[in-house]
Amino acid sequence: MQVLNRIAAGFGLLVVVGMLVAWGLSTTRPATWSVEQRQVLEAEPDVVAEWVAFPVRWPEWIHGVEGAGAEWAPFGPPSGVGAGQAWRSSRSEGRMEVVAATPTSLEYRLTLPAGTTVATGSLRWSRVDRGTEVVWTDAGDYTGKPFAGLWVGPMARRVELQMKAALRMLADRLASAP
């Protein structure tokens, strides 16, 4: 019995030390992220705006954030401040809401059910020689969240890849549009 108690105590100590090491490592890594993706689309800026500035169109080209089989629900006006999309899937749920808008850009806030802002970002589009360049930025801050330094980096990379895939999807949709 004494041997089992020693093994249990040793295991408990190992877990505590492991948690302290993980916490220590997490405090040495950034708890914030900022990513950007760019894509030149073979379309005029006003055509791109029909897809980007109107959240009701986002499910047609923004994918990956919400998971497979997501149910989307637009809210607010068709475009501009207050327009957005809510989603729910087996993997996640949340809201992306436009918080600022101009004829060639929008800024959004992404929130989760607890009402916490997870990310802010922007989509900007402008004419370039070969069409319209879309620049998508996304940023967030998890400072003060336990162990954030360990998972923010991989999460930011995943967000960046999802943004890249979404912009490619938008390019495909525009290329196949009449």
Residues 6+ apart with CB under 8 A from 57: 50, 51
pLDDT at 23: 45
> CA-CA distance, 109 to 98, in Å (whole number)?
7
Burial class (CB in 10 A: 0-12, 13-18, 19+), 163: buried
Closest to 26 measured CA to CA, from 144, 139, 141? 144
pTM of the model: 0.77
Residues of the chain with pLDDT under 70: 1, 3-30, 63-68, 114-115, 117, 145-151
Which amino acid would we find at residue 119? Answer: A
CATH of 31-176, one of 3.30.530.20, 3.30.200.20, 3.30.565.10, 3.30.420.10: 3.30.530.20
> CA-CA distance, 15 to 17, in Å (whole number)?
5
> CA-CA distance, 20 to 24, in Å (whole number)?
6
Answer positive or negative: Cα dihedral of 4, 5, 7, 8.
positive
Quick one: which H or E segment has residue 13? helix 2-27
pLDDT in tens, 103-155: 999 999 988 776 676 889 999 999 999 899 999 999 988 777 666 666 677 77
Please, what's the b/e burial string for 65-84 (b: 16 or more CB within 10 A of its CB; e: otherwise)?
bbeeebebebeeeebeeebb
Tokens of 31: 């708890």
Instruction: Bin 143: left if φ > 0, else alpha if -120 < ψ < 50, else beta.
Output: beta
- Cβ atoms of 125 and 104 within 8 Å: the answer is yes
